Amino acid sequence: MRILVVEDEPRIAKDIGDGLAAAGYVAEIARDGEDAWFRGETENYDAIVLDLGLPRLDGLSVLKRLRAAAVTTPVLILTARDGWREKVEGIDAGADDYLTKPFRIEELLARLRAITRRAAGHASSLVSIGPLEIDTRAQSVSVDGKAVALSALEYRLLSYLVLHRGRAVSQTELLDHIHSGDSDRDTNAVEALVARLRRKLGAPVIETRRGYGYCIAPDGP
């Protein structure tokens, strides 16, 4: 999944970016509020990690502008203060959750999983679709109760389709959300990845919608 990290402190931004990459996310960094506002409004992200103390435009103003522009991307606020007023302001402005600095990357990842699940309509980390079962916390997959070993890239593609089940996802969108940088940014690479994933799953879970992309039906095959 594609995450926008808005943090002006280089060390913290790097630590978050490295932690997200290690967990299989595609992380992009914005260093100030104006850049965050522009990216958040014009780009498609699965979630935004937003520090409140930013140069050029503070995080709360960024959040208010995004929500005013009808951007519904889940937002996890980072705050250096533990005061309740700042947290209340953030939640009232449209934040989905908050995290107080300093924090462990494991907690940030858990909160990100939770807000992206809720945004997709999943209350639990365990999602079942027909014979397919995916545990977003353990990042494990099984079909008919049997574990399926997937590569990190295969898991990212499958979990993205699961979180957006019922909707056809284009190859371009998949490239944006499962690949970092410019690596393998080729629709043929997506086709090959889907083909490998279908062979491993063994069940007709992933449908092809001609002219639109790939889809997992809400209730499975």
Cα separation of 190 and 118, whole Å? 27
Strands of the 146-148 sheet, one edge to the other? 126-129, 132-135, 140-143, 146-148
Any idea what the CATH number is for the domain that residue 68 is in?
3.40.50.2300
Does residue 55 sit in the same domain as residue 91? yes
Residue 78 lies in a domain: yes
Does residue 14 sit in the same domain as residue 106? yes
Q: Work out how many domains the chain is built from and give that number.
A: 2
Decide which of 84, 119, 154 is a domain's last residue: 119
Does residue 114 sit in the same domain as residue 60? yes
Residue 149 lies in a domain: yes
Angstrom distances, CA of residue 49 to CA of 14, 152, 191, 202: 13, 22, 31, 36
Does residue 74 sit in the same domain as residue 14? yes
Residue 88 lies in a domain: yes
Decide which of 88, 119, 150 is a domain's last residue: 119
Cα separation of 38 and 24, whole Å? 25
pLDDT string in tens for the chain (221-residue length): 899 999 999 999 999 999 999 988 999 999 999 999 999 999 999 999 999 999 999 999 999 999 999 999 999 999 886 667 778 888 899 999 999 989 999 999 999 999 998 887 776 778 888 889 999 888 899 999 999 999 988 998 999 998 888 899 999 889 888 876 545 567 788 899 999 999 999 888 899 998 899 999 876 55
Domain span at residue 56 reads 2-119
Decide which of 69, 92, 119 is a domain's last residue: 119
On whether the CB atoms of residues 163 and 174 are closer than 8 A, the answer is no
Does residue 61 sit in the same domain as residue 137? no
Cα separation of 198 and 55, whole Å? 46
On whether the CB atoms of residues 103 and 97 are closer than 8 A, the answer is no
Model confidence, pTM? 0.77
Does residue 83 sit in the same domain as residue 149? no
Alpha helix (H) residue ranges in the chain: 10-22, 33-42, 59-68, 84-93, 105-119, 152-163, 171-178, 187-201
Does residue 101 sit in the same domain as residue 39? yes
Cα separation of 166 and 65, whole Å? 30
Pairing assessment for the beta strands 140-143 and 132-135 based on DSSP bridges? antiparallel
Does residue 12 sit in the same domain as residue 114? yes
Does residue 132 sit in the same domain as residue 30? no
Residue 221 lies in a domain: no
On whether the CB atoms of residues 1 and 160 are closer than 8 A, the answer is yes
Does residue 190 sit in the same domain as residue 155? yes
Does residue 140 sit in the same domain as residue 58? no
- How far from each other are the two terminal CA atoms of the chain, in whole angstroms? 24
Does residue 67 sit in the same domain as residue 19? yes
